[in-house]
Chains A and B, each alone.
Chain A
Amino acid sequence: MIEVSNLVYEYPAVRALDGVSFSVAPQTITALVGPNGAGKTTLLRCLAALEAPYSGYVLLDGLDTAAAPRQIHTRLGYLPDFYGLYDELSVRRALIYAARAHGIADEAAPAAAEKAAQRVGLSDRLETPAGELSRGLRQRLAIAQTIVHEPRVLLLDEPAAGLDPQARRDLSTMLLSLKDQGMTLVVSSHILAELEDYCSEMIIIEGGRIAGGKPVKVRDVERPRYILEVATARGDLKDFLSARAGLDLIEADEHHGLFTFTRNPGARAKLIRDLVAAGFEVSSFGEATKALEETYFARVGRS
């Protein structure tokens, strides 16, 4: 869905992106992470055809951002980290305008606006002026404006900034729902734990390059990461796990094992039975929740 090849973007004194290449598969959610000033926002703006690269190219749904920026905007939604709303327009009018500005026909725009409002939970505020919405609701309206034309690709720059915990959870649910409906999402954020909830891949930008050279898979729906803990130290834990068919060991010591394994409940139950039968005192076994954070620091620390 997105193909980036040898992308270079320069400011007068700084090369912000230096030969970035990657591709993003359709109907996935990719996290874009990295330290401040690493080039995340510049990369998103290049993907959104808001900035022209010095060299290299970005193909979005097969279209070159340099050659066809307006066509790309009919299939793309982008929410910048800092954005404004038309405070004097009602939610309905703001959404109708966004729909029409993205090429939706006059007669279809009101329905598109109502659908977008429903998706973000603003159906009961359609006649409220945008200026009277709370911060969380403004964020929802901004996202609704971004998705009102049902883009194939959605780029979000720090979408959860300033949201309360409930609003963040709602956002995660909504992003997963958008992915399930066919959208491809790239989300930039500093909050790694939150990205963990919905991202399947991660691109780490550091110093204008992709750390490690390519995106990393951080979440596999079919084969999640599990962490195992045994109460009594056993030196053979690593060998035991490595020998199991269908289990890919990431790392292990005498007390812990981190590995990917099938989500199938029967297979997991059998693994625990075998561990207990082999004399391991299993004290905990569950899905690893910090996979993205661990991968991030491993990569950034290495590069």
Chain B
Amino acid sequence: MNPEFQRNVWLELTPRRLGLMVVLLALAFLAAALTGSAGNGLVLGPLSTTAEFLYYVIVVVWGTRNAALAVIGEVQARTWDMQRLSAIEPGAMTWGKLFGATIYNWFGGAICLVVLLGETALHKGVPTAFIALVYYAAVGVIAQAAAFLASLIAARRRQAHSRLDVFLYQLVGLAAGVIVYTVWSVADPAGSILLRKAATDFVIWWGWSFDTRPFLLASLAVFAAWTLTACYREMRLELKMQNGVLVWLGFLVFIGVYVAGFDAWLASDKTMAGWDAASLRLGLAATTFAVLTYVVVVLEPKDRVHFRWLGSQLASGRFAAAWNGLQAWMMAYVAVLLCGAVLLVLLLRHPPAEAGAPAFIAAGLGFLTRDVWIFVLMQTLPGRRRSDLAALGVLLALYVFAPAILNGLGLKSMLAFFYPQPDEPSLLGPAVAWAEGIAVAAAAIGRIGLAKPAPA
């Protein structure tokens, strides 16, 4: 058995804890059965509702906390270095921790699923129960893996880990769980409770029509696999192994292609009038890459030593080493620029109804450049311990406070200095955005180059 998994089993699955879980769940189900009314073909009875609720509480809410603590708990207890010093391979360490730290949650969740799926199979048939099993497993795995991933990223950033921090990592997992739940609700005959939208029977993707449930199940499985892959790669880094760039590039290609396939959803949007399918797809991919760039540039450690090392590799002609040392945000950022540039060419060749679209996109790329380099620049300034928070504060000022003040003063024409203006067809917006972007990038690179470390 995987030693890390076994250690967790020793700690988590003691006879007393197992007995306690069984007794408490049995009491909960008994209470539900005695107090509720029977279900019908469409809506399950109180036993299933209770089982589903308890599953979410035990596996998603509590499970994400245990997943977030799987590594952070070791860091806090000063046992993480001992684990990093072990010979356990990153794959084994990843699944040993992810499923080991949450094994007690899965034990309780399994009991809930037996009740829930048993009644589902009874009322709606075995195939429906099987689909539900895949969904519940996916939502649990994705939520826990997301919390685990967030904690691993935080461990690599070497932050202090207070209870609030752990709660934030748990929140990442909960957010992932809510997203999965919301997306899955699209295929629920009862519709989405959160979005208050009716169910959809078909999904149009790359022009083809797919049954919603199999499509979403496949999507969930693929995203669960990517989340686990991300955990594995973060674990490799934590264990001081080197990651190449190919997997991240592969993910960028995947997510670009996946998202671009939903162009049919935008075809009826008035602001996109006149856009051909290729432009819509590129726009979707570029937007996704931009969101990823922001997310990753916030999350990744922006280590000045690493930047200096990259510079030294480039300066000494060791391009392969520099290539393998590229950070995820750098590649996502280049992907946005590439997609955006191609999109601009397409829109200039076939102008859409909205004349300001090309200028808007060009300005957007410039402001993205400015924003990304603000994060890097903040890392090079004194008091860098909270540099990401400072960068977020600067962005808040640039996107919210300053524009609000200018609006109040009636200086709307000045807004082009802060963010892209959709109704500004001139080149002023892009010129200003790129000037700001280049200035911030130059300042950041200059400070990295100048900031030589002091002797010990």
The chain A residues found within 8 Å of chain B, CB to CB, are 10-18, 37-39, 48-52, 54-55, 65-66, 69-71, 73-74, 76-78, 80, 82-86, 88-89, 93, 97-98, 100-103, 106, 145, 207-208
B51-108 at interface with A (beta carbon < 8 Å): 74, 77-79, 81-89
Give the Cβ gap from B375 to chain A, nearest Cβ, in Å.
15
Q: Which 4 A-B pairs have the closest CB atoms?
A: A84-B78, A208-B456, A100-B3, A101-B86
- B: interface residue count bin: 35 or more
A198 CB to closest chain B CB (Å) equals: 23
Which B residues lie within 8 Å of A78 (CB)? 81, 85
Q: Which of B1-58 contact A (CB under 8 A)?
A: 1, 3-4, 6-7, 10-11
Given A69-B239, A80-B81, A85-B79, decide whether A100 and B6 contact each other with a Cβ distance below 8 A.
yes
Q: Specify the chain B residue showing the minimal Cβ separation from A12.
A: B304
Whether a CB of chain A sits under 8 angstroms from the CB of B308 is: yes
Contacting pair B77 A101 (CB below 8 A):
no
Q: Which of A15, A84, A145 is within 8 Å of B454, CB to CB?
A: A15
Closest Cβ of chain B to A103, distance in Å, is 4
Assuming the contacts A83-B78, A101-B4, asked whether A70 and B239 have C-beta atoms less than 8 A apart, the reply is: yes
Additional A-B contact list (19), CB under 8 Å, known A49-B240, A100-B3: A12-B451, A12-B453, A13-B451, A51-B240, A55-B312, A69-B240, A70-B239, A77-B85, A78-B85, A80-B78, A83-B78, A84-B78, A84-B79, A84-B82, A101-B4, A101-B88, A102-B87, A207-B456, A208-B456
Chain A residue nearest in CB terms to B380: A12
**Is there an interface contact between A101 and B83, defined as CB atoms closer than 8 Å?**
yes
Which B residues have a C-beta under 8 Å from some C-beta of A? Answer: 1, 3-4, 6-7, 10-11, 74, 77-79, 81-89, 239-242, 303-305, 308-309, 312, 384, 451, 453-456
Q: Does the CB pair B455–A15 fall under 8 Å?
A: yes
Between A and B, how many residue pairs show CB distances below 8 Å? Answer: 107
Asked if A15 contacts B456 (CB within 8 A), the reply is yes
Asked whether A97 and B79 contact (CB < 8 A) given A10-B453, A12-B303, the answer is no
Residues of B within 8 A of A76 (CB): 85
Least CB distance, A2 to chain B, in whole angstroms: 16
How far, in Å, is A265 (CB) from chain B's closest CB?
45
A/B interface sample: 18 pairs, CB < 8 A: A10-B453, A14-B454, A14-B455, A14-B456, A15-B456, A50-B84, A69-B239, A71-B87, A73-B86, A73-B87, A78-B85, A83-B81, A84-B74, A89-B7, A97-B10, A98-B82, A100-B6, A101-B3
Looking at B78, B454, B456, which has the most chain A CB atoms within 10 Å of its CB? B456
